[in-house]
């Protein structure tokens, strides 16, 4: 079993569900720009990697994210397992330290911001490969998902300073509902 980038994509979506909400494969597939079978396979790999677990006491084949393992992997392993590819100047959606969740926390620079290449993006910047190709679509549909993916990108491809600022924000965002705040 080998984790794929879309597995983290699905696990993040699962972690962002409101308390008591049921994970529905069809809804997740639509929100993430994946097929239902891709979501199902991602969940199976997440369970095998202990990023999620099946709730055996439930009849509806429910799954729950293992937040501790997920956060640990995002903070310490994602940058090694899924390093971003950087490209040239393009138009796209700001990510990492340039995204709304982090942008105001750093002094402005003359460097081009990292962006997910996207034809409907409004920011000119340096191409930064998203965790999964449909990240800009998922981010446009859900501001919390956008924040989470941008924070993960700061962990994957940011400087030590970017990571030190992003880590507690990511932990708080992925904390169980009611115990963490929004960045």
Q: What is the pLDDT of residues 65-117, one digit of tens each?
A: 999 999 999 999 999 999 999 999 999 999 999 998 788 888 778 889 999 99
Quick one: 148 exposed, middle or buried, by C-beta within 10 A (0-12, 13-18, 19+)? buried
- Amino acid 73: pLDDT: 97
- Amino acid 61: pLDDT: 61
What's 51's DSSP letter? S
Q: How far, CA to CA in Å, does 169 sit from each of 98, 164, 176?
A: 15, 9, 13
- Higher-confidence position of 38 and 102: 38
| Of the candidates 172, 173, 129, the residue with the CA atom closest to the CA atom of residue 13 | 173
Q: Architecture of domain 5-80 in CATH? A: Orthogonal Bundle (1.10)
Q: What is the DSSP string of 97-125?
A: GGSHHHHTTS---SSPPEEEE-TT--EEE
- Amino acid 21: pLDDT: 82
- Amino acid 107: pLDDT: 78
Average pLDDT, the chain: 90
- Amino acid 179: pLDDT: 46
At 15-24, the pLDDT tens digits run 999 877 888 8
Mean pLDDT over 149-170 rounds to 95
Mean pLDDT over 116-137 rounds to 94
Give the global pTM. 0.91
- Amino acid 104: pLDDT: 83
């Amino acid at each position: 079993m080998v984790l794929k980038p879309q597995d983290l994509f699905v696990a993040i979506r699962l972690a962002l569900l409101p308390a008591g909400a049921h994970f529905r494969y069809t809804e997740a597939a639509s929100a993430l720009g994946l097929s239902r079978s891709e979501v199902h396979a991602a969940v199976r790999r997440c369970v095998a990697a202990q990023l999620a677990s099946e709730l055996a006491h439930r009849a509806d084949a429910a799954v729950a994210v293992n937040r501790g393992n997920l956060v640990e992997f995002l903070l310490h392993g994602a940058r090694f397992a899924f390093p971003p590819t950087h490209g040239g100047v393009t138009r796209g959606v700001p990510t990492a330290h340039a995204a709304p969740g982090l942008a105001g926390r750093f002094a402005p620079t003359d460097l081009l911001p990292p962006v997910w290449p996207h034809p409907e993006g409004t920011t000119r910047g340096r191409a930064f490969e998203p965790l999964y190709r449909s990240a800009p679509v998922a981010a446009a549909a859900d501001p919390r998902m956008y924040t989470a993916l941008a924070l993960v990108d700061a962990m994957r491809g940011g400087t030590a300073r970017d990571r030190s600022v992003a880590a507690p924000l990511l932990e708080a965002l992925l904390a169980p509902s009611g115990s963490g705040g929004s960045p």
